[in-house]
Amino acid sequence: MTQNHTAKVIVGMSGGVDSSVSALLLMQQGYQVEGLFMKNWEEDDGTEYCTAMDDMADAQAVCDKLGIVLHKANFAAEYWDNVFEYFLAEYKAGRTPNPDILCNREIKFKAFLEYAIELGADFIATGHYVRRGERDGHTCLLKGLDNNKDQSYFLHQVGENEIKKTLFPVGELEKPEVRRIAEEHDLITHNKKDSTGICFIGERRFKDFLQQYLPAQPGKIETESGDVIGEHSGLMYYTIGQRQGLHIGGLKNYPEEPWFVAGKDLERNVLIAVQGIENDLLFTDWLTSDSLFWINGQAPQTPFHCKAKVRYRQEDQDCVLEKQEDGSYIVHFNEAQRAITPGQSVVFYKDDLCLGGGAIESTGKKA
């Protein structure tokens, strides 16, 4: 149903189908809609073509079709300072960070929101598959209705004040419906592939990109008992549970089972590998986090029973959260978890309500 709003909404236009349909739906609801394309990376390294130019052209084409203005903003300096430097520091420390989470907190829901308010916006909007709700007097973040596309995991560091100022038009829809709406309205992005990987790397090989900023230190790959079975090209290129890219096989005295990354010995620059997807060394019972962010600004009383994810699209897992004497947290899972990865995030839920979360510091097994 069309409503008459005087509220002005600026939509973060990425050049993808989700933000395109978000702008369309808000117009249909009677909002005053404008678009904004964010440039978060300076393409000055002379390597492969960055997809940002194509994305901006698609965003412009959609805005032209809808008859709305497209603002352009350069947040590359903020991105470098608040996202990319952390990303490099984490890789240097042997962890596997998730820059999208930081990008949402620092760029999309901070730099963009501040910029939009300067342009006179009452709200911003994004194409994320999440919903805004009200619970116990708080504005809160709810999972998107499309379970397969729910992106609350990536938005768990966005605070209540920012969520209050944001609309999520596609959060109530399933992805095929979003594409159908885009096609029905002849939007150029209707069949555009979903973007994957880290925004600033584009289509480049991750290894080549990282090598420009962090010199690799090759070393040995060992079994848990210390047998040398291969060489790695730098610990930062591997993540816990990884199978591809180890180049181990055909070893005497070992069965023909696939090998998986089970750990990193930073002091010795050694990668630990084990055989078998269900190998016991790939499973842990608990994790720690030095600091947790709560969307409503209020940490729960511990011990706290809830559910958690340790990676995007994982099914929610039953757990108990406890605060330790030093102020850090430990999360005990009811069932052992495979390939929990330091640097990634643990995110907490009560049913469809996203509570918050934080970076994983360490993992371990029950005594």
Would you list which residues are annotated within the binding site? Answer: 12-19, 38, 127
Q: Which helix (H) or strand (E) holds 275?
A: strand 270-275
Q: Which residues contact 147 (CB under 8 A, 6 or more apart)?
A: none
Catalytic-role residue among 50, 63, 103, 306: 103
Instruction: Residue count of the chain, please give it.
Output: 367
- State how far the Cα of 363 lies from the Cα of 335, in Å rounded to an integer: 14
Task: Give yes or no: 199 in active site.
Answer: yes
* Residue labelled with tokens 């209020």: 298
Helix residue ranges, H only, 2-43? 17-28
Catalytic-role residue among 50, 63, 140, 199: 199
Binding residues for ATP: 12-19, 38, 127
- State how far the Cα of 247 lies from the Cα of 221, in Å rounded to an integer: 10
Q: Which residues contact 180 (CB under 8 A, 6 or more apart)?
A: none
Helix residue ranges, H only, the chain? 17-28, 52-66, 76-79, 85-92, 99-103, 112-118, 160-164, 175-184, 206-211
- State how far the Cα of 362 lies from the Cα of 367, in Å rounded to an integer: 15
Task: Give yes or no: 354 in active site.
Answer: no
* Residue labelled with tokens 């509570």: 355
- State how far the Cα of 131 lies from the Cα of 146, in Å rounded to an integer: 11
Q: How many helices (H) and strands (E) are present in the chain, helices listed first?
A: 9, 19
Q: At residue 335, what is the residue type? A: E
Measuring CA to CA, which residue among 69, 145, 78 is closest to residue 110?
78
Residues carrying an active site annotation: 103, 199
